[in-house]
Amino acid sequence: MKTVLSASALLLLCVARALALPGAIELDRLSGGLGAEGFAVPAADRVVNPPPTPPAAVADVVAPPPDDAAVSLSGLLDRHWTTVDSFSDPAGETYVSGTLDLNGDGWLVVSPPRVAPLMIKIERGMSGAWTAGGRRYAADLNVNIFRARLNNVLEIKDGSGATVWNRRIIDLFQRTYDAGRAVVIGGRPYRLFLSHLPGGGRPAAASSALGLCLIYDQLDSSGRHDQYDFYRFDFSALVGKSLPVRLYGGDLATLSASSDGESLTISR
């Protein structure tokens, strides 16, 4: 005997089976929650669209500066001797700077008016005296055991004993660094110097020998000065020749000066 289902009964059976499927959405139960906390429909004037999600920040990629292949040395010889610091008094303007010899020792360079530059080695017990404009001067080092070595103070006094100039060693050499010619090697910034080396005498006169120096300024994570790295070369070893050198971080480069000493070629 066949069972005959009416169309309405068949429809009810299909709806019941659909509602019984796992995961089926029970619209009636959800509708019954309208007005309860968490389900209230906001008024039209209270609908707030969330702000768009800002795009993720993309770090700027800064390309390293291009290396210098050649650097003009014109006007660089002893330039820092008269562009770093000075003092003025009745004798005129006296220029003061720092420089290095090939051993890496620091020297105070004093260029009095109408007097050849003189060089005084920076060390404990240093002393040097000279005359300019009929006035006497002397340089020494004010040392304190409670100060770091580079915080000791260089002083110049006149014949009366009055201090006419003073500067911490580190301050003088930071100013001297700024007076060098900017050079980029291996993507790193250096300062380039060319100067006469100290000769004999106390104070020493400038000799005929020349030294070339590259200085790299290490910076800490905040961009402040940390320490200097010096790379010194006998200039005569570069003129018309190629000299392989190792610089900061083990970078290799080859330096060569033109035969007239007017330019420096840098290759890597």
Distance, CA of 59 to CA of 136 (rounded, Å): 59
Q: Measured between alpha carbons, how far is residue 164 from residues 81, 92, 116, 137, 177 in Å?
A: 18, 12, 19, 9, 23
pLDDT of residue 57: 64
Residue that is written with structure tokens 């969330």 in the block: 50
pLDDT of residue 34: 41
115 SS3 class:
coil
Segments of the chain with pLDDT less than 50 = 1-45
pLDDT of residue 171: 95
CA dihedral (106, 224, 80, 78) in degrees, to 10, reads 60
This prediction has a pTM of 0.74
Residue that is written with structure tokens 């420089």 in the block: 99
pLDDT tens digits along 51-71 = 666 666 666 666 778 999 999
Distance, CA of 210 to CA of 199 (rounded, Å): 11
One-letter amino acid at 21 equals L
Beta-sheet pairing, 188-198 with 181-185: antiparallel
> Where exactly are the structural domains of the chain?
70-267
Length of the chain as a residue count:
268
- Closest to 71 in 3D by CA, of 259, 268, 255: 255
Distance, CA of 42 to CA of 60 (rounded, Å): 43
Do residues 79 and 179 lie in contact, with contact meaning Cβ atoms separated by under 8 Å?
Answer: yes
Q: What φ, ψ does residue 169 adopt, rounded to 5°?
A: -55, -45
Give every CB contact of residue 203 below 8 A, 6+ residues apart in sequence. 110, 118, 119, 120, 128, 129, 130, 139
User: What is the rounded radius of gyration, in angstroms, for the C-alpha atoms of the chain?
Assistant: 39
pLDDT of residue 227: 85
pLDDT tens digits along 141-188 = 999 989 888 899 999 999 999 999 999 999 999 999 999 999 999 999
